[in-house]
């Protein structure tokens, strides 16, 4: 019994270390390296923490994208937590994008994506203009990851009238993301059509700060 308790504590400490490490990363390369190290145990940890972002984003997506429309870009797909559900709720054409090779390797084993691509949000994306009916992005716009600078490219690869369902941590929202959305709205590129109330993404993880889900619709 004592050995089991010790192992549980050790596993918890290891996962908290992974979470703190990715938040503290100072470059995209460092973020990728730390997610690579976490990939094989990531799904189990997020389940135990009660991770809410995928459910919130899927709910938003189904409200604004007709069933069967596609393809859908899972931007920051990780291990495919959202991808596993896209086909179930009516969007079988899904494409994965992530910075971490290790996370994409786990996602690939699930067989839910038509293709998988390694690239960093915030830089050029390997897709054509208007390629996707929608973008879904969960847990990416958060501490130590990426901010509003990624929206221009995500908007470019989303077709006119398409939608982007995104979760955004409050610190990122207040730190320039909301201003970027306002700028793009003023320019007629997109509009904010839904915003959830703030919520904690991982209620099983102490000290997690809140975020929100939003839906942006491209002009068209």
pLDDT of residue 148: 95
Q: Give CA–CA dist 131/128, Å, rounded.
A: 5
pLDDT of residue 6: 33
The closest of 209, 218, 129 to 166, measured between CA atoms, is: 218
Name the β-bridge partners of 118: 98
- Which residues are CB-contacts of 193 (< 8 A; sequence separation ≥ 6)? 64, 163, 215, 216, 217
Domains delineated in the chain: 53-218 (3.40.50.150)
Structure tokens at 215: 């839906």
> Are the C-beta atoms of residues 202 and 50 closer than 8 Å to each other?
yes
- Torsion 147-153-158-161 (CA) sign: positive
The closest of 90, 133, 97 to 114, measured between CA atoms, is: 97
Structure tokens at 50: 């009660």
Ranges of the chain whose pLDDT falls below 70: 1-50, 143-145, 204-208
pLDDT of residue 200: 87
Q: What single-letter DSSP state applies at residue 23?
A: H
CA 209 to chain centre: 16
């Amino acid at each position: 019994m004592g050995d089991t308790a010790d192992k549980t504590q050790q596993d918890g400490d290891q996962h908290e270390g992974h979470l703190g490490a990715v938040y503290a990363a100072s470059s995209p390369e460092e973020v990728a390296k730390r997610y690579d190290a976490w990939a094989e145990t990531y799904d189990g940890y997020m389940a135990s923490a009660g991770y809410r972002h995928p459910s919130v984003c899927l709910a938003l997506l189904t409200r604004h994208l007709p069933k069967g429309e596609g393809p859908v870009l899972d931007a920051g797909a990780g291990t495919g937590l959202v991808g596993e559900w896209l086909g179930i709720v009516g969007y079988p054409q899904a494409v994965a994008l992530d910075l971490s090779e290790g996370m994409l390797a786990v996602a690939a084993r699930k067989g839910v994506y038509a293709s998988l691509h390694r690239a960093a949000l915030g830089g050029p994306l390997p897709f054509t203009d208007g390629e996707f009916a929608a973008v879904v992005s969960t847990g990416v716009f958060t501490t130590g990851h990426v901010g509003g600078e990624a929206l221009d490219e995500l908007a470019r690869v989303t077709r006119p009238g398409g939608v982007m369902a995104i979760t955004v941590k409050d610190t990122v929202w207040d730190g320039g993301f909301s201003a970027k959305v306002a700028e793009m709205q003023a320019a007629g590129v997109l509009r904010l059509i839904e915003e959830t109330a703030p919520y904690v993404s991982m209620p099983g993880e102490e000290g997690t700060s809140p975020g929100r889900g939003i839906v942006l619709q491209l002009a068209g």
